[in-house]
């Protein structure tokens, strides 16, 4: 049988579709400046982005106790909200990939651990407010990735059986969630990772180096 695009493609957001590190770094550095601390570099901050606000604050304030870092999460998200869409964009090849999916009739959506209101605020900056069929954030439901509930909820919302969905993400939690939801998975190797991450050990069905490769139906895992 010739390869086909999936009926539905679901994506992580930061580090998979959106190269949002510059917006997030601006937020972290605003907090560091307010504390009289030196700014973080892009290279030092980038690997932590896919692990969420707590991990980013741990990288920015490694000397603080965990409870003190947690208390700064709301302020970090407020700073980030002011920076959304000002510095970042999408990874090269993402638009070609999404265009190929849309031309083939594939429904696509986003399942992220980013708070839903922030993810929803980002979409217009990327031109996706009307194109994204479903958006599930980290606080949309009682559970978040690596729990499968957000992926199952997204599949139900777009009316596609989980077995006909493929989930694409750059973090091990994405692949764990996809497997638990009964979806095939793609590891996005272009995303944000720590040096000791071993994405080839995550058990993804396919590993892809660049988004544009997914404009080719033959690169998607087949059912």
Phi, psi for 102 (deg, rounded to 5): -65, -40
Is 12 marked active-site? yes
Alpha helices, DSSP H, located in the chain: 21-34, 42-45, 53-60, 66-71, 73-83, 94-103, 116-126, 149-158, 172-180
- Residue (of 146, 182, 178) closest to 162 by Cα position: 182
Handedness of CA 27, 134, 137, 139 (dihedral sign): positive
Residue with tokens 């958006």: 135
Annotated binding-site residue? 174: no
Annotated binding-site residue? 14: yes
Q: Tokens in use for 139?
A: 């606080």
Catalytic residue among 12, 23, 171, 174: 12
Residues classed as catalytic: 12
Annotated binding site for Mg(2+): 12, 14, 170
């Amino acid at each position: 049988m010739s390869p086909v695009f999936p009926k539905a493609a679901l994506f992580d957001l930061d580090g998979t579709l959106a190269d949002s590190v510059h917006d997030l770094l601006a937020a972290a550095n605003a907090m560091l400046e307010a504390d009289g601390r030196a700014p973080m570099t892009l290279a030092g901050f980038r690997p932590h982005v896919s692990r969420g606000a707590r991990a980013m604050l741990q990288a920015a304030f490694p000397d603080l106790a965990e409870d003190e870092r947690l208390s700064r999460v709301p302020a970090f998200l407020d700073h980030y909200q002011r920076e959304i869409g000002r510095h970042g964009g999408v990874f090269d090849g993402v638009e070609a990939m999404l265009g190929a999916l849309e031309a083939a009739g594939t429904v696509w959506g986003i399942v992220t651990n980013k708070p839903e209101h922030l993810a929803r605020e980002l979409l217009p900056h990327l031109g996706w407010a009307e194109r994204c069929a479903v958006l599930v954030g980290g606080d949309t439901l009682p559970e978040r990735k690596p729990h499968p509930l957000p992926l199952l909820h997204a599949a139900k919302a777009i009316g596609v059986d989980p077995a006909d969905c493929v989930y694409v993400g750059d973090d091990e939690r994405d692949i764990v969630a996809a497997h638990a939801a009964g979806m095939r998975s793609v590891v996005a190797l272009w995303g944000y990772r720590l040096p000791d991450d071993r994405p080839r050990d995550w058990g993804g069905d396919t590993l892809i180096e660049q988004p544009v490769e997914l404009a080719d139906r033959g690169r998607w895992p087949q059912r």
